[in-house]
Structure 1
Amino acid sequence: MNKFTVFVKESYIELTEKVSWPKWEQLTQSTMIVLGATLFITLLVGVMDFVANGSMKFIYSLFK
């Protein structure tokens, strides 16, 4: 149990004194970049899915 207590104390000290946390502006900017990239990739995958679906329907219609 002693090792766990030391770990918790050292973790607390590291998180409060040694870690440099981002400022609010940096955090919101990073969040917007991630949100934009996520939306872009989602749109790209959606378009690819739409094209693949249409292509497969066309190919299947040839063999009816």
Structure 2
Amino acid sequence: MDYGFHLFTDIGTGENSVLYRAGPTGYRLAQVHPRPHLVGPVAVPPAVSDLPAPRMSVAEAEWRLCT
């Protein structure tokens, strides 16, 4: 679909997550409450951010997604 990111709920952790293009593997995973040790096996392992997702308003989130 050629999107720069994908928002989803991770089945292994139950966390709201975003996968986006970045990092040494080409993909980076960010979660609300990161638990990288619970991310299961995947075809292309992403870099996993150990920082929690930032809190922001809907307007701030829309601006960030558009940039």
User: Which protein is richer in strand relative to its size?
Assistant: 2
TM-score normalised by length of structure 1: 0.17
User: Which protein is richer in helix relative to its size?
Assistant: 1
Higher relative contact order by CA 8 Å / sep ≥ 6: 1 or 2? 2
